[in-house]
């Protein structure tokens, strides 16, 4: 981590080269030189597309979203009304009115199962991703920052990235899990509340800030003198330039600053009207403000993710539903299906619709893949309290952009809405789809030094879009 020590004013060699989660950890001398050596052959394997993974932790219900089963028994079918979509014969739950009108722009998958019925962060981190966060595989190939801009190649966005007035929730697992690659490849987490932000907190007067900045760059100069080849000199020049970028602000800080967004565009993303401020206090997650944090921030998080992709970030994970607000058991912690969808369904519909319309207005629909899913789905039968419980055999999945054929409903579920009717798809198919969106796997095999894990993930069958 980058820590500027106010107590002594000294910056050690170790501190200068241990910037970890910001992405500059990937610019330690060895990894930077490795990336530079691969650059010529790697360029053919990169598709120059970005991925935004909106993770719906808690497990969204397939019935109340993308697969309502209107003809099933009342104990099974959606508890809400059913609405037609822009696709003939395809219906959604009533909480997705805007998405229903845009259904000809994206792909819904109705034969997807996570094979998981516990709260964790699959498929982002789990057995299908080799217990390594998906964006870490990406950064291991391309490096942790963009060479020219200093932009981290992967980031994780929590509600506090766009609002200082939300509780700090948690993921059921480590979204920054780096597996076999080392902590330097962990995604960057902007916003207050993370360890990185604590480590980077300056807390200095203006005079001390500029003095310490000078000390940092002097330290980099000392490191340069210790290098023993021309290639290392060049690498340290690059580290210097990126240190300037981080300390002085530039493309990275501008991309993260939503106040620089067109106010009219930002207003279209705004979902704050869905934060009810107290309506859900009958359960613990409501009392903690977690439903309102989700509803009020998800739109701006998607806007921020789009800005980051435009600026060069390759993989953005959005965890607006931290603490599992899609978990609708109807118990002391969680809302029932009707209240739960009222709490977060409308804002999800608004945010995804605003994103699709914005991306298409900018001509970016072939450049960004949006993935929306959780770690599981919900049971076909409604429980005695009006909720649905954990379910591994079917889950909703929405895919948009990056060349996916628009207006498709892939696969179908059985009459109970509990299992794929045929051709089941699982996280290995989704992960392979994501990897092949980012890379030409055939060309990537020709690049030296690519981990076999990355290549293996891209060899599984894909979701045909």
Task: Encode pLDDT of 217-274 as tens digits.
Answer: 565 566 555 554 445 555 555 555 555 555 444 678 889 999 999 999 999 999 999 9
**How far apart (Å, rounded) are the C-alpha atoms in residues 243 and 220?**
9
Beta bridge partners of 154: 315
pTM of the model: 0.85
CA 294 to chain centre: 14
Q: Tokens in use for 289?
A: 């403000």
Which of the residue ranges 1-10, 28-37, 138-147, 183-192 would you say has the lowest mean pLDDT? Answer: 1-10
Distance from first CA to last CA of the chain, Å, rounded?
40
Domain ranges of the chain: 48-199+261-457
CA neighbours closer than 13 Å in the CB half-sphere of residue 56: 30
Q: Confidence class of residue 109 from pLDDT cuts 50, 70 and 90?
A: very high
Residue with the bigger pLDDT between 205 and 84: it is 84
Instruction: Give the architecture-level CATH label for domain 48-199+261-457.
Output: 3-Layer(aba) Sandwich (3.40)
Q: In 193-299, which ranges are E strands?
A: none
**pLDDT greater than 50 at residue 194:** no
Residue 144: its H or E element: none
138: nearest Cα among 431, 460, 383: 431
Answer whether 411's CB lies under 8 Å from 112's CB. yes
pLDDT confidence of residue 132: 98
**How far apart (Å, rounded) are the C-alpha atoms in residues 435 and 158?**
23
The arithmetic mean of pLDDT across residues 168-178, rounded, is 85
pLDDT digits (tens, 9 = 90+) for 276-335: 988 999 999 999 999 999 999 999 999 999 999 999 999 999 998 877 999 999 999 999
pLDDT confidence of residue 150: 84
pLDDT digits (tens, 9 = 90+) for 366-412: 999 999 999 999 999 999 999 999 999 999 999 999 988 899 999 99
Q: What percent of the chain has pLDDT over 70?
A: 78
Which of the residue ranges 6-10, 17-21, 105-109 would you say has the lowest mean pLDDT? Answer: 17-21
Which of the residue ranges 62-76, 149-163, 221-235 would you say has the lowest mean pLDDT? Answer: 221-235
């Amino acid at each position: 981590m980058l820590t500027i020590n106010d107590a002594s004013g000294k910056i050690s060699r170790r501190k200068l080269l241990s910037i970890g989660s910001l992405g500059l950890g990937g610019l330690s001398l060895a990894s930077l030189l490795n990336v530079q050596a691969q650059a010529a052959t790697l360029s053919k394997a990169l598709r120059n597309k970005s991925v935004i993974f909106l993770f719906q932790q808690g497990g969204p219900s397939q019935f109340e979203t993308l697969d309502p089963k209107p003809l099933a028994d009342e104990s099974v079918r959606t508890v809400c009304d059913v609405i037609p979509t822009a696709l003939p014969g395809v219906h959604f739950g009533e909480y997705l009115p805007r998405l229903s009108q845009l259904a000809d722009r994206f792909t819904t998958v109705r034969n997807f199962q996570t094979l998981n019925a516990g709260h964790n962060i699959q498929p982002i981190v789990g057995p299908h991703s080799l217990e390594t966060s998906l964006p870490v595989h990406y950064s291991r190939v391309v490096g942790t920052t963009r060479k020219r801009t200093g932009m981290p190649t992967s980031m994780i966005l929590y509600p506090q990235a766009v609002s200082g007035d939300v509780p700090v929730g948690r993921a059921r697992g480590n979204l920054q899990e780096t597996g076999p690659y080392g902590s330097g490849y962990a995604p960057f987490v902007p916003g207050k509340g993370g360890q990185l932000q604590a480590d980077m907190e300056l807390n200095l007067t203006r005079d001390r800030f500029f003095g310490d900045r000078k000390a940092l760059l002097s330290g980099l100069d000392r490191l340069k003198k210790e290098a023993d080849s021309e290639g290392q000199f060049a690498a340290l020049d690059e580290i210097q330039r990126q240190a300037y970028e981080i300390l002085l602000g530039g493309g990275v800080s501008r991309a993260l600053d939503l106040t620089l967004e067109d106010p009219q565009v930002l207003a279209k993303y705004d979902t704050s009207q869905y934060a009810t401020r107290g309506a859900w206090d009958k359960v613990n997650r409501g009392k903690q403000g977690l439903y309102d944090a989700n509803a009020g921030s998800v739109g701006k998080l998607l806007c921020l993710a789009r800005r980051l992709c435009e600026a060069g970030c390759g993989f953005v994970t959005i965890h607006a539903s931290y603490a599992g607000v899609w978990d609708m058991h109807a118990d002391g912690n969680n809302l029932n299906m009707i209240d739960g969808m009222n709490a977060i369904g409308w804002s999800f519909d608004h945010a995804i619709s605003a994103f699709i319309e914005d991306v298409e207005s900018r001509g970016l629909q072939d450049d960004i893949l949006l993935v929306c899913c959780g770690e599981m789905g919900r049971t076909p039968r409604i429980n005695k309290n009006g909720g649905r419980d954990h379910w591994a055999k079917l889950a909703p999945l929405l895919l948009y952009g990056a060349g996916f054929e628009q207006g498709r409903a892939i696969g179908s579920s059985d009459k109970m809405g509990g299992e794929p009717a045929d051709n089941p798809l699982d996280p290995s198919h989704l992960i392979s789809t994501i990897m092949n969106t980012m890379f030409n796997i055939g060309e990537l095999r020709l690049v030296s030094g690519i981990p076999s894990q990355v290549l293996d993930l891209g060899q599984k069958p894909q979701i045909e879009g």
